[in-house]
Amino acid sequence: MTAAGLLPEGTAAVDLVRRFADAFNAAAAGDDLAPLAAASTPTAVAGFLVESHSGTVQPLASRTSVPAGARLDVDADGVEVVASGVLVTRFRGHGFARDDFAGDVELHVRDGQVVRVVFRAP
C-alpha cells in the first residue's frame, strides 16, 4: 500500500483490474448487477468519453454503464499506477453501442474498491 493507504501496488493492482473486469462481465452477463459489489462500492460512478461525444457520468451499477450482454477485455498485466489510487490500463469492449469501443480505462480506487471508472475511447 502507499503511504496514503489507498493504493494496491504491484500484484495487487493487477489483481484489482482483473477482479473489476470479472465483476463487470458477470454483471453484464447475468440478470442483475450484484456481481459488481465484488470490485466496486455501491456508489461508484462510471464516466464514458468516446470520440466525438461528450462525457457521460452515471452510476456504475446501472444498465447504462453495464449493458446486458456486453463484455470487457482488459490488459491487466499492463496496468500502470499513474497517481495515488488511480490505475490505468488498456481495454476493449464488446457488445457496446460502438463496435470500436476501445482505449484506456481509468480506475479510481479506495480501500481496495473501485469508486470511479472512466472509459476513454479515442
Partner 1 sequence: MSQDQQTVGTGTVGRRVFIKGLAATGALAGGMAVTGPALGAPANGHARGRPTPFSQGWTSQPGRFVDDVSLPDGFTYDVVASYGDAIGNGQTFGYNNDFVAYFPLRDSHRREEGLLWVNHEYPDPFFLHGSTNPATKTAEQIRIEQYVVGGSVIRVQRDGDGPWKLRRDRHHARRITATSPRIRMTGAGIGDPANPKWAPVPDWTHGSLANCAGGITPWGTALSGEENWADFGRTSGFGYGWGPDFLPENNGGYGWVLEVDPKDPDWAPRKHTNLGRLRHENATVWAREGKHLVVYTGDDARDKFLYKYVSAGRYQRARGRANSRLFHDGQLWVAEFAPASQDETVRSGTGRWRQVEMSPAALVDPDTWVRAQPWFDPTTFQLNRPEDAEIDRFDNSLYTALTNNTDDPHGRIRRLAEEGRDPTADTFAWSDIAVGGPDPGQTRGFSSPDNLVFDRLGNLWMVTDISSGSLNNPANSYAYHRNNGIFMIRVGGPDAGLAFRFGSVPNEAESTGPIWSPRQDSMFLAIQHPGEETSVKGGVRGNPATYTSYWPRGNKTTGENPSEPLPSVIAIRRA
**Cβ distance to partner 1 smaller for residue 14 or 121:** 121
Do the beta carbons of residue 6 and residue 109 sit within 8 Å? yes
How many angstroms separate the CA atoms of 28 and 70, rounded? 6
Q: Which value, to the nearest 10 degrees, does the dihedral of the CA atoms of residues 26, 38, 46, 17 take?
A: -90
Which of 30, 57, 78, 84 is close enough to bind partner 1 by CB under 8 A? Answer: 57
**Cβ distance to partner 1 smaller for residue 16 or 50:** 50
Q: Does 58 bind partner 1 (CB under 8 A)?
A: yes
The CA–CA distances, whole Å, from 82 to 106, 112, 117, 118 equal: 9, 16, 14, 14
Which of 9, 73, 100, 111 is close enough to bind partner 1 by CB under 8 A? Answer: 100
Which parts of this chain interact with partner 1 (CB under 8 A)? 46-59, 62-65, 67, 80, 82, 88, 96-104, 116, 118-120, 122
